[in-house]
Amino acid sequence: MSSGRVPRHAHTRLIAAVATVCALSAAPLAPQAVAADTPPYSETYRPQFHFTPEKNWMNDPNGLVYYKGEYHLFYQYNPGGNSWGDMSWGHAVSTDLVHWKQLPLALSHDDKEMVFSGSAVVDWNNTTGFGTKKNPPMVAVYTSAYKDGGKQAQSLAYSTDRGRTWTKYQGNPVIDIGSKEFRDPKVQWYAPTKSWLMTVSLSTEHKVRFYSSKNLKDWKQLSEFGPAGATGGVWECPDLFPLAVDGDENNIKWVLVVNISPGGIAGGSAAQYFIGDFDGRKFTPEGKGTYTPPTGQVMQDFEGGDFGSWTTTGTAFGQAPAAGAVDGQGTVDGFDGKGLANSFHAGDAATGTLTSPQFTVDSRYLNFKIGGGRHPHVPGTVMEQGPPPEGTVLADFEGGTYGDWTTTGDAFGTAPATGTLPNQQEVSGWLGEGLVNTYLNGDSSTGTLTSPEFTIDKDHVNFLIGGGNHPAGSDNPTAVELLVDGKVVRSTTGQDGEALNWASWDVRDLAGETARIKIVDDNTGGWGHLNVDHIMLSDTQAQPVSQETSVNLIVDGKVVRSATGAGSETLDWASFDMRPYAGQKAQLQIVDMNTAGWGHLLADQFTAADAPAKSVVQRADWADYGKDYYAAVSWENAPGGKRYMIGWMNNWDYAGAIPTSPWRSAQSIPREMALRTIDGRIRLTSQPVKSLTSLRERRPETAAGATVKNTSQPLIGPAAEGRTLDIEATFSLEDAERFGLKVRTGAGQETVIGYDTTTQELYVDRTRSGAVDLGSTFPGVQTAPLEARNGKVKLRILVDWSSVEVFGGSGEAVITDQIFPDPDSQGVRVFAEHGSVKLDQARVWHLGSYRE
């Protein structure tokens, strides 16, 4: 979530448990720890041309305004640590949107409020009286997040010294509707009515509200917009601005940006937009017409009185298709006909599978409707909990005591828990009668539990874990740690769910070492607790049990395609690309193995077709199709009427788990926005700000006129390799199915930036990009629709120490992804698959640091 707001689980406990335990358990913690003598801005993964604070947590950009030669970037900031908390406004300034100078904290949290997201304006006419016409004040309009009761309201602060010092308005708040989900005001001067216009979010209602004021203090409501487009998560950080279409000042359209989390195009957090008209009171989006999915052969529509040749296990799906909602369920809609598969029988606690007979793949795509819980399939999980592997049990927390384990603090109490604690969601998945549960007195308690020394004499350390996802190395971890010589050599967290699941450390490289296990709860925020049980040494790796709610395609006994719900009782279209499995035998399996919130699945209308169906999310418009572009907002008052936008380069799915220290998170490259007519439709496009070229260190390395066929080869050579690159490449289509560039290659690592000619999509594949074990939703492939022009595909790729930003075509297809490769992985390769492509031209520049 965003806006400096409490991550959703902190005050809305009824959320779904994440599918499995964080796989950070499989690798050493080297990237987490930073040597004390490491100079600032040289740490592993530190971006060199993206803004980061010197230390501590950062999220949403705030208060973007240009004044007296400076672009101001305020941002959500924790002045006290490297995880979310104590939200305040950090501050940086730039004269060119590339070279940034960090300034002291601007707006601080206090005993009464945290300072959530908002905007800033220059009050040129001193309508507020906070300054003078000769020295107009800069006014910040922010969300007060009150600590007593959690109410959110809109407030003011002002500065008369170019934003260096700030005073909170004594009359705060200026808008208070009594809501806990009302935030992120974006304010601008609306000249036709000579008044201030506020765009603000009613987050859980999926609405944007517009207000007007003459003095920034007294506001009247104008209208509301929404729900519309993607609504799978909260709406946050809205922005409204006009742009000329194709540069024609006589053809102005308004763009409404609405950030959403979760439910974005790539999963988790994202920035969607609407194009329309604004008349001073109301925003009216342009219509898109109705959607008709591709026709095809229906394989299963659940219209019969039973499941036919499909077979069930468990009790979740009942004896026959459902006619809609079942007992205890909210309204179910979006399915076709009279029946659907619905695994809410007996509520979320029931589990089971529904499996098709085997069939031969003879269509290009399989389209179907899906709803219900968002619990993805995780490779390596098993369907049933078997007995623990054989081995030596270090602790099973039975018998009513901790034995010879030692405690500090108050989180662990005097003895193991026997299950769920007061005010806690239901805990499940432990063995026997006892477990470690640090929810004692809620998330506010902290402490440690440490084992006596033992010798590592087997290949694996297995244990059950649930609870909060606050990694070791962060300021306030919730983690199980393996210590050798007093140093943390392995660590695992929960995944913000109460269900315990198996985690395993491969410790073969530590054979014979003397070690301790330390369970650490140092977190007092949301999910600031851990559940742990049955810690053991074994020569067999424990396999986590599936906690998915998914539709899976199974070929040769393996899940090769999977889709999950979006935390909604409304079904929507999904599609599997079946082309790689043509002629092979396959099965479909609808799986509900989750007993937590949204632990059920809905499915209908399985149809073999020649083209993919598109979901509401896919049919929405997105400013960026990557995983890591959120809370995107634009600068007010930029010179020349330009519209520049920046986003938080992270995703709430794993924001607290990225392996950076002593800072966490970066901002994207600022982008110049435009409206262009592309393929007959007006699209919002973005390109890196032109001043980025000032960081190019020398003449580019070039390649031209090369034909690449069924291979991957160095693009140019060592001179074009590196960790900070600006790449421009143009390809001419021949017969290759996929082609493109691979960056940050080496040691088995690569980030693939490609184009799929059959789907006409740009894609970024970061499944082998380095450290990808940051949670189940981090690895994957992000795609963006992009049509070739005149048989050519044009790419601009920005590579930094821990990110890639890819701009396709005229900037209508943009993908921003974080990556965490080894520092030595610096190769750049060109590739083509299943045919040939011509590389017309490639130019590669090395980029310097924004701080130089």
Q: Known catalytic residues? A: 60
Q: How many C-beta atoms lie closer than 10 Å to residue 227's C-beta? A: 12
Evaluate whether 154 touches 200 at the Cβ level (below 8 Å). yes
Instruction: Provide the 3-class DSSP secondary structure of residue 23.
Output: helix
Residue 717 tokens, joined: 């050579």
Evaluate whether 493 touches 22 at the Cβ level (below 8 Å). yes
Instruction: Provide the 3-class DSSP secondary structure of residue 153.
Output: strand
Distance CA 350, CA 14 (A): 17
| Widest distance between CA atoms in the chain | 80
Q: How many C-beta atoms lie closer than 10 Å to residue 127's C-beta? A: 20
Residue 600 tokens, joined: 């059920």
Q: Count the helices and strands in the chain (H runs, E runs).
A: 1, 54
Evaluate whether 247 touches 235 at the Cβ level (below 8 Å). no
Distance CA 298, CA 763 (A): 30
Q: How many C-beta atoms lie closer than 10 Å to residue 297's C-beta? A: 10
C-alpha distances in Å from residue 296, one per residue of 307, 527, 710, 799: 21, 46, 33, 42
Task: For residue 271, give the H/E element and its range.
Answer: strand 270-278
Distance CA 293, CA 679 (A): 20
Instruction: Provide the 3-class DSSP secondary structure of residue 718.
Output: helix
- Phi and psi at residue 804, to the nearest 5°: -130, 140
Spatial neighbors of 546 by CB under 8 A, at least 6 apart, are 19, 377, 378, 381, 382, 383, 591, 593
Distance CA 550, CA 373 (A): 8
Distance CA 297, CA 303 (A): 15
Distance CA 446, CA 429 (A): 23
Strand partners, 520: 448, 479
The residue among 462, 470, 466 whose CA lies nearest residue 438 is 466
Helix %, strand %, coil % for the chain, to 5?
5, 45, 50
Distance CA 761, CA 614 (A): 14
Evaluate whether 606 touches 299 at the Cβ level (below 8 Å). yes
Task: For residue 619, give the H/E element and its range.
Answer: helix 616-619
The residue among 495, 502, 429 whose CA lies nearest residue 464 is 502
Evaluate whether 388 touches 32 at the Cβ level (below 8 Å). no
Instruction: Provide the 3-class DSSP secondary structure of residue 509.
Output: helix
Cα 827–Cα 831–Cα 836 angle in degrees, nearest 5: 160
Cis peptide before 262 (omega within 30 of 0): yes
Task: For residue 630, give the H/E element and its range.
Answer: strand 630-634
The residue among 598, 818, 759, 632 whose CA lies nearest residue 18 is 598
Evaluate whether 174 touches 187 at the Cβ level (below 8 Å). no
Distance CA 686, CA 672 (A): 5
Distance CA 547, CA 530 (A): 18
Distance CA 424, CA 19 (A): 19
